Amino acid sequence: MTTALDLDDPAFLTGDRSAAYRTLRDEAPVLRTGEPGEETWLLSRHEDVQAALRATSARMQPPGQDAPPWMPDGPARRRLRANMIQTDRPVHARLRGVVGPLFTARRSDRLRAAAACEVAAELDGLADGAEVDAVALAARVPRGVLRLLIGMPDEDWAMMLSTQIDFLMIFSPFPLPPDHQARLDEVSQFYLDYFDGLLGRLADPPELVRRLLAAEENGELSRDEVLSLMHTVLDAGFETTRTSISNLVELLATVPGLMDAVRHDESRIPGLVEETLRMRAPVQMNTRILVEELTASDGTVLPAGARLLAVIGAANLDERVFPDPGVADPMRENAARHLSFGGGLHHCLGAPLARVQLQETAAALVRRFQRIELAGAPDRHPSLIFPSLSTLPVRMHA
């Protein structure tokens, strides 16, 4: 197959990927890249990405290893080995079993009021015609929820924002340059130290923290795992939520008639949220390593041991599943078939909570504002996996 995709091209990393993704789906749904012995297989069709994410035998790390072989010993490797998102069974099942009961749909809905209050606090002071950076606004929305979950005080928030993007390098599917690895080690150590110190400051720990400490006391968790789970709740509860809220605002500002349609019928809010997640997946790609061979939709047999890069962003725009995938339709009946929350054993634990926060933000926006318009050019981080908006200047019209 002659189709090529430059994964380092700045235009691809920061721009509209839909055309490149469509070319992949149509011409190279299984694209083999890399040198012999170090190949990566890119999957771009919904059927194949879903199969890869749901394969119960597939792994996050190579068989017999608990971290990428290219990652040196140090704080980042220490953090990754205890990171629920990147571990395999039985460690993954043990970690998920500790915190999973606190993230059911019913429990997440109990945090709806906290999310609504935080959104209201951010929007109440905005005058008609106010110009704001929607990314900065979105970053503040999860504060109330995270305050209740892990007890992180508001005064620590700015410190978190300054380091979070760099930490995301821990999810790189490829070896990091030495300077990036050094920075990742630095921020990983920062977070381990921060949460260890936070535990010493919490006079009345929230339920989640009490549950983690009890699991440590009975030998179910190590101290690194306690600290890593607290950071995972912050990381997953903040970064993807901030990204998705920013993307939601961008859609409302750029799709003609969308805001009016949702305002006139608020039953469309959940559909708007699902369309935002489908069209702007906060995590564009995810990795898996096959233990058993997998046959793709085009007949390609992926061998055991193959490293897969499941391109979620491309799968979510697959016209085989979503007719007119580039149209934001809050009435789309199957929008929730998107794969933005992953799948299988590693399906996002915080998906119900993310939906609650997005729904409350969407409701507040359409009730308080008649129109949102771009006030400048949006800008995105040049990231293969997390191309989140870094700035989104908008003007809010009451």
| Domain ranges, residue 213 | 10-397
Q: Is residue 5 part of a domain?
A: no
Q: Is residue 200 part of a domain?
A: yes
Report whether 145 contacts 115 (CB < 8 A).
yes
- Encode the chain (398 residues) as per-residue pLDDT tens digits: 345 678 889 999 999 999 999 999 999 999 999 887 788 999 999 999 999 999 999 999 999 999 999 999 999 999 999 999 999 999 999 999 999 999 999 999 989 999 999 999 989 888 899 999 999 999 888 888 888 999 999 888 888 777 888 999 999 999 999 999 999 999 999 999 999 999 999 999 999 999 999 999 999 999 999 999 999 998 888 889 999 999 999 999 999 999 999 999 999 999 999 999 999 999 999 999 999 999 999 999 999 999 999 999 999 999 999 999 999 999 999 999 999 999 999 999 999 999 999 999 999 999 999 999 999 999 999 999 999 999 999 999 99
Residue 44, CA distances (Å) to 18, 48, 231, 362 in order: 11, 7, 30, 29
3-state secondary structure of 316: coil
Residue 93, CA distances (Å) to 11, 98, 218 in order: 39, 9, 17
- CATH of residue 315: 1.10.630.10
Interaxial angle between packed helices 351-368 and 269-279, expressed in degrees from 0 to 180 and rounded to the nearest 10: 120
Tokens of 203: 């006079």
The whole-angstrom separation of Cα 262 and Cα 256 is 12
Cα 84 to the center of its chain, rounded Å: 14
Q: Is residue 4 part of a domain?
A: no
Q: If you average pLDDT over every residue of the chain, what do you get?
A: 94
- Which of the 8 DSSP states describes residue 374? E
Q: Is residue 299 part of a domain?
A: yes
**What is the number of structural domains in the chain?**
1
Q: Report the greatest alpha carbon distance in the chain.
A: 61
Cα dihedral sign, 197-184-82-73: negative
Report whether 364 contacts 123 (CB < 8 A).
yes
Q: Is residue 65 part of a domain?
A: yes
Q: What is the pLDDT of residue 4?
A: 66
Residue 296, CA distances (Å) to 40, 69, 211, 306 in order: 15, 27, 42, 13
- Whole-model pTM: value is 0.95
Report phi then psi at 158, rounded to 5.
-60, -35
The whole-angstrom separation of Cα 106 and Cα 51 is 28
3-state secondary structure of 20: helix
Q: Is residue 1 part of a domain?
A: no
Q: Is residue 302 part of a domain?
A: yes
Cα dihedral sign, 100-106-112-114: negative
- Within 206-363, strands assigned E span 285-289, 294-295, 301-302, 307-311
For the segment 214-267, what is each residue's pLDDT rounded down to a tens digit? Answer: 999 999 999 999 999 999 998 888 889 999 999 999 999 999 999 999 999 999
Strands 393-397, 294-295: pairing is unpaired
Residue 124, CA distances (Å) to 69, 229, 242, 398 in order: 50, 33, 19, 11
Q: Is residue 210 part of a domain?
A: yes
